[in-house]
Amino acid sequence: MDISVIIPLYNEDESLKELNDWIVRVMLTNNFSYEIIYIDDGSSDNSWKEIEKLSVENKNVKGIKFRRNYGKSAALNRGFDAAIGNVVITMDADLQDSPDEIPELYKMIKEDGLDLVSGWKKKRRDPLTKRIPSKFFNRSTRIMSGIKLHDFNCGLKAYKKNVIKSIEIHGEMHRYIPVIAKWAGFTNIGEKIVDHRKRKYGITKFGFERFIKGYLDLISIIFISKFGKRPMHLFGTLGTLIFIIGFIIAAYLAYAKFFMAEYKMTERPLFYFGLLAMMIGTQLFLTGFLAELISRSSHDRNQYLIEKELGLKKYGE
């Protein structure tokens, strides 16, 4: 199969028919073999009924329904697991992403050999309250990750199949899929300027708090990428260094007490600094030790309840 289109959604029943017809038209025009996978993230409207109708009309339309709202990362992760296309396209369901971009994205993966192509909404159709925080968010992510992309959070992306089968996302980490892919060894990452359209139906499902959660997840990704499999290397090293500093201070004060002057060690502020350093160093070392044990026995974090599925096959069938 040429293309799998993965569309996570939450309460987008008004746009689904129009979006689906648009995608199908693009696929038929370019003679692509395809599947469209909708992941209903616990919608409370008629989104799932619309997906069922579309699936009856077109056997290439498939669906997954979560029992409750788990978030976009969980929806994408389940879609990645279900996809069987050689190229995987993700897009939002609100009609702000244009399916007309699919052929060029496919070409960049198949012919240009990129591992991942991220859309760049150079001219955004969003209010100023979303555009300004997004600029700060993208700039700080570029600095911290070293990936030269302008728009990390664009929902319109294309992937080689190997990429989406090799990564796992949870929490709010869908914003950092390029970062996760890079740390997984897929460094051939590009971007494409894409058309961004005004929202036609409904309202946005994301609030300002997404930026706070986003930064916290970025720190988590960087830490996990570098030290997730070896936390003792970070905590153990820091703990040992801080403990040694505290021990040197304590040794100096003990030497001064017996050979240099008569005073009470507890009357010197340096004594408490050295004691604190040894305590913190010991705690950091133990934290690294416990984290090492946990990392070696942790289970899959993406545990979510699926209520229904339509027309899906397991990868490899």
Model confidence pLDDT, tens digit, residues 24-48: 999 999 999 999 999 999 999 999 9
| Strands of 61-66's sheet in order across | 189-193, 116-120, 157-160, 87-90, 3-9, 34-40, 61-66, 306-310
Of 120, 121, 117, the C-alpha closest to 188 is 117
- 278, 247 Cβ separation under 8 angstroms: yes
Classify domain 3-227 by CATH number: 3.90.550.10
Write down the H helix ranges in 30-127: 47-57, 72-82, 102-110
∠ CA(75), CA(73), CA(229), 5° rounding?
125
Q: Which 8-state DSSP code applies to residue 310?
A: E
The region of weakest confidence among 78-87, 234-243, 248-257 is 248-257
> Per DSSP, which regions of the chain are E strands?
3-9, 34-40, 61-66, 87-90, 116-120, 157-160, 189-193, 306-310
Bridge partner residues of 36 (DSSP): 5, 61
Mean pLDDT of 209-229: 64
| 166-170, 295-299, 310-314: range with highest mean pLDDT | 166-170
pLDDT confidence of 197, banded at 50, 70, 90? confident
The region of weakest confidence among 31-45, 109-123, 294-308 is 294-308
Residue-wise pLDDT for 134-190, tens only, equals 777 788 778 878 888 988 889 999 999 999 999 988 777 888 899 889 988 899 999
Write down the pLDDT at residue 303.
55
Distances (CA, A) of 302 to 35, 41, 62, 177, 188: 24, 14, 21, 16, 27
Bridge partner residues of 9 (DSSP): 40
Write down the pLDDT at residue 101.
96
Q: Classify burial at 300, counting beta carbons within 10 Å of its beta carbon; exposed 0-12, middle 13-18, buried 19 or more.
A: exposed
**304 is written with which tokens?**
């979510």
**144 is written with which tokens?**
């911290």
CA distance 151 to 172: 16
pLDDT confidence of 123, banded at 50, 70, 90? confident
The model carries a pTM of: 0.73
Is residue 293 scored above 80 in pLDDT? no
In this structure, the dihedral spanned by the alpha carbons of residues 267, 273, 274 and 280, taken in order and rounded to 10 degrees, is: 140
Write down the pLDDT at residue 267.
73
Write down the pLDDT at residue 129.
62
Higher pLDDT, 264 or 62: 62
Q: Classify burial at 249, counting beta carbons within 10 Å of its beta carbon; exposed 0-12, middle 13-18, buried 19 or more.
A: buried
Is residue 317 scored above 70 in pLDDT? no
